[in-house]
Structures are given as structure tokens and as C-alpha cells.
């Protein structure tokens, strides 16, 4: 287990040196084999979703040719942000090992706390304004999907 975390930390160090994004690295393991690796690529790719955990999830999914990473473990150099936590849950990873804490990330300038606070009550319009519209039309597609016999729930 320590070896996998060492790899995640080494990826974070390599990423820091390359200036691709924040100093974050991650790897995904299944049955004792690394199946996905990721470094934060936000700056390199101009993609705010290219966090190390997301990049590792994408890499693992390609490797296994699936969207379901059940029975995989994720090793990350830092406690995952809210977006990454959601992606980890959606990918069915049940175990995450992390090195640095979210407080450590905050200490170097990564501001995840305001997102955690926003999620608690979904009401701070200075962060994000959510406005419902056209549900009458959109719900028709949901109703069709609901009655579809061969749908795949993920």
C-alpha cells in the first residue's frame, strides 16, 4: 500500500516540477496492479476538471474499457476536492487512501471549503445562481427514459 502512495506522491512532485497544475498525483489499483495514473493537468490542458483523481479515473476506465471501477482503490497525494469525491463515488471506487489533508490544500491556496459550504445548503448565489426552467419539456425525456426496458443505470 505504501508503494502505491509513494507513486501518487511522486506524480505530485513531478507535476509540480512541470508546472502542469497543482501539486497533486493519484493512481488507481486493481488486484495489486496499477491500472490508472493521473497528475493535475488543469493548467496544461486549460481544463478545470483535469484534477489528478479525474485524470486517473479516465485512465483506468480506458485501461479496463468500463465506466465501473468497482474493486479498485485510489491512492491520492491529497484529500479529494468535492468534484473528485463525486467522480470517485460515480466510478464506484469504495476505498481511497490520501496523504495531505484538505486543510493542507487550503494552506497552499486551494479553496475547496467554500464548495463544501455551498453544497450544504445550495443557496449562496454569489457562488452560483441555479435557476430552474423548461422542466415541462425536459421531464418528458426523463419519463421516456424511466419506461425504457433496456436502460443501464450507472
- Active site amino acids: 53
Nearest alpha-carbon partner for 16 in 78, 93, 85: 78
Q: How far is CA 58 from the centre of its chain?
A: 10
Which of 127, 124, 89, 83 has its CA nearest to residue 105? 83
**What string of DSSP letters covers 20-89?**
SSSS-EEEEEETTEEEEEEE--HHHHT-TT--HHHHHHHHHHHHHTSS--TTEEEEEEEPPPHHHHHHHH
Report d(CA 70, CA 152) in Å as an integer.
Answer: 16
8 A C-beta contact, residue 77 and residue 100: yes
Amino acid at each position: 500500500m505504501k508503494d502505491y502512495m509513494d507513486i501518487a506522491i511522486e506524480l505530485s512532485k513531478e507535476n509540480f516540477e512541470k508546472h502542469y497544475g497543482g501539486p497533486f498525483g493519484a493512481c488507481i489499483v486493481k488486484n495489486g496492479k496499477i491500472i490508472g495514473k493521473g497528475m493535475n493537468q488543469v493548467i496544461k490542458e486549460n481544463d478545470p476538471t483535469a484534477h489528478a483523481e479525474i485524470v486517473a479515473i479516465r485512465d483506468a476506465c480506458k485501461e479496463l474499457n468500463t465506466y465501473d471501477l468497482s474493486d479498485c482503490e485510489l491512492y491520492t497525494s491529497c484529500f479529494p476536492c468535492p468534484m473528485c469525491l463525486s467522480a470517485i463515488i460515480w466510478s464506484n471506487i469504495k476505498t481511497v487512501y490520501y496523504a495531505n489533508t484538505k486543510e493542507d490544500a487550503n494552506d497552499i491556496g486551494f479553496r475547496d471549503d467554500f464548495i463544501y459550504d455551498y453544497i450544504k445548503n445550495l443557496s449562496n448565489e454569489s457562488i452560483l445562481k441555479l435557476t430552474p426552467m423548461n422542466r415541462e419539456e425536459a421531464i418528458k425525456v426523463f419519463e421516456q427514459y424511466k419506461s425504457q426496458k433496456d436502460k443501464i443505470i450507472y
